[in-house]
Amino acid sequence: SVREILAELTGRKGGCAKGKGGSMHMYAKNFYGGNGIVGAQVPLGAGIALACKYNGKDEVCLTLYGDGAANQGQIFEAYNMAALWKLPCIFICENNRYGMGTSVERAAASTDYYKRGDFIPGLRVDGMDILCVREATRFAAAYCRSGKGPILMELQTYRYHGHSMSDPGVSYRTREEIQEVRSKSDPIMLLKDRMVNSNLASVEELKEIDVEVRKEIEDAAQFATADPEPPLEELGYHIYSSDPPFEVRGANQWIKFKSVS
């Protein structure tokens, strides 16, 4: 939930990883977070897909990475293993045109990311169109579940803001470029227009939803600053899922904690 995500960002007890993961390591049921190493989540995703196949639950793993990570060697190793073992894995490259501060043209000899799988079929999808993404994902999931192995999707999207707080986002592209994408291709705006034009919703209804969403975000932000930080002994918790308790050395080497599963 928004509340759990914001509380995780501020290192609070009510965060989805109890404040211990931060922005890069968020976990929840069936959500295996990010990874501090660029591209490292891709082989992790292939491993989760192996578990899906091994357990025979007809599940699929969606493994997401960006255009900046797409040139990592470990991604091609994961492709190879997933194809050999016919793993139910949808590899999704979110191509937002910039890896940190470098445009895709300057970083990749080929920007056809959907073709990078070589022996894995690929789709190029308009990532700014919610219905396109839904239908492409529906197709990809059915493909994986049919036992044919992995599939690759490139979602063509755009990053409005800088890569991080230290990146203003306009030193390697123009403000006009960002504004043009925002005014013509914003996914929320496009869906709103489509819904109103098709008489699926009224402008007033959508405004009410906006108000509710803003209230939810404000409440979550307040919770994220008021919720207590986790206690020091939390360091020893959840190291293993089912082992008997053992001693864990704390931040101070003279203080010991008992692990809790």
- What is the band of 246 on the pLDDT scale with cuts at 50, 70, 90? confident
Cβ(127)–Cβ(99) below 8 Å: no
Q: Please determine, for residue 237, whether its predicted confidence score (pLDDT) is greater than 90.
A: no
Higher pLDDT: 62 or 260? It is: 62
Give me the domains of the chain, ranges plus CATH numbers. Answer: 2-235 (3.40.50.970), 236-260 (no CATH)
DSSP string, 50-92: HHHHHHT----EEEEEETTTTT-HHHHHHHHHHHHTT--EEEE
Residues 168-218 have pLDDT tens digits of 999 999 999 999 999 999 999 999 999 999 999 999 999 999 999 999 999
Predicted pLDDT at 54: 96
CA distances from 218 to 4, 127, 212, 226 (A): 13, 28, 10, 12
Cβ(79)–Cβ(120) below 8 Å: yes
Q: Please determine, for residue 95, whether its predicted confidence score (pLDDT) is greater than 80.
A: yes
For residue 209, the number of C-alpha atoms closer than 13 Å in the C-beta half-sphere is 8
Residues 131-146 have pLDDT tens digits of 999 999 999 999 999 9
Mean pLDDT computed over every residue of the chain: 94
Partnered with residue 237 across adjacent β-strands are: 260
Q: What are phi and psi of 260, to 5 degrees?
A: -130, 130
Predicted pLDDT at 220: 98
- What is the band of 3 on the pLDDT scale with cuts at 50, 70, 90? very high
